Amino acid sequence: MILSNVVRYLNELEAIDFQAVNSQAQHNLLAINHVITGHETNVGFYKMRMQKRYDTVVDALNQYQRVFNNLKDELAQTIRNHEKDYYKNSTKLYQTAMRYDSNEHVLDRRLSIDDDSNLILRSRLRMYTDWRTPGLIIHPGQESFIEDMVPLDPLYILDTNQDLMLPALNKFNDQYRARLRSYTVDEERKTMLKELPQQQFGCVFAYNFFTYRPIELINRYVQELYDCLRPGGVLLFTYNDCDRAHGVELFEKNFMCYTPGYVIQAHAEDVGFDLVYHYIGQGDLAWLEFRKPGEISSRRGGQTLAQIIRK
């Protein structure tokens, strides 16, 4: 079975608001019935006959809606039953291929992002750039999002090796580069992020990184990043949305890993996160924003002001 075909079918059905269709149909029928039953003239017992037909049609609409919902449930269950192999193959794709991609290849991988989505993403990100707290950007790559995170102080950079961070570091002059704190992560270690500050970050952002990680590895990152965030801190990351047929197709073509958003969200909420925002854009883009319960607090009284000169 090609799972993307089933997911596409479910996506098409989910795009139909049958509750609204049903409600509007009943509303229109009720208006007609009101005109007929409300008039003083009664010819051939049509008032009674129309009322019975109205009840019959409403019952049929409700039954149709129940069957429609049952169909969606069956499709969802079919996906759950067949996606087990997709999870297994996704892990295999990462372990045998993606983790060995060259630095050049990794840096050349870019998400397609339309102008509106780009603007929304940057606006959302800037909401969380509080100078009172440290920040962390994972895999800044060749994108310019790191420039939106400059107010976070200090700003940490994380990737799987130092060379992958060079394009981001080279955006700044030597003075500001010296203030950036770069770390490498070994995804083979049982605890990947123990060298990072714990309970400190106000914002963690990962763009086009979890797209190439299997679901179990994403879940490990989410768990450990929860411990790195201070109360009220936010984790924002893009992922390959395999709740959509397009995302499943990207996995079937070995472009990205199989990572349904509903699974990521369920795990994050089990860890303790609250979902703040979920965005589904055009093309490859989708992201999730989670907040650690609590309020952001800091003992800082003021920020050292300096101009950051980009190269």
Statement: residue 118 has pLDDT above 90: yes
Statement: residue 298 has pLDDT above 80: no
Average pLDDT over residues 134-150: 95
Statement: residue 306 has pLDDT above 90: no
Separation between Cα atoms, residue 258 and residue 129, nearest integer Å: 30
Higher pLDDT, 299 or 224: 224
User: Phi and psi (nearest 5°) for 170?
Assistant: -75, -5
Average pLDDT over residues 95-101: 95
87-91, 165-169, 297-301: least confident range: 297-301
Average pLDDT over residues 285-292: 97
44-58, 72-86, 119-133: least confident range: 44-58
pTM of the model: 0.86
Average pLDDT over residues 79-96: 96
39-48, 68-77, 210-219: least confident range: 39-48
Task: Tell me the range of 22-26, 158-162, 175-179 where mean pLDDT is highest.
Answer: 158-162
User: Could you state, in order of their start, the residue ranges of all structural domains in the chain?
Assistant: 3-96, 112-291
Average pLDDT over residues 53-70: 91
Q: Which superfamily does CATH assign the domain made up of 112-291 to?
A: Vaccinia Virus protein VP39 (3.40.50.150)
Statement: residue 8 has pLDDT above 80: yes
Statement: residue 248 has pLDDT above 90: yes
pLDDT band at 276 (very low <50, low <70, confident <90, very high): very high
Statement: residue 99 has pLDDT above 60: yes
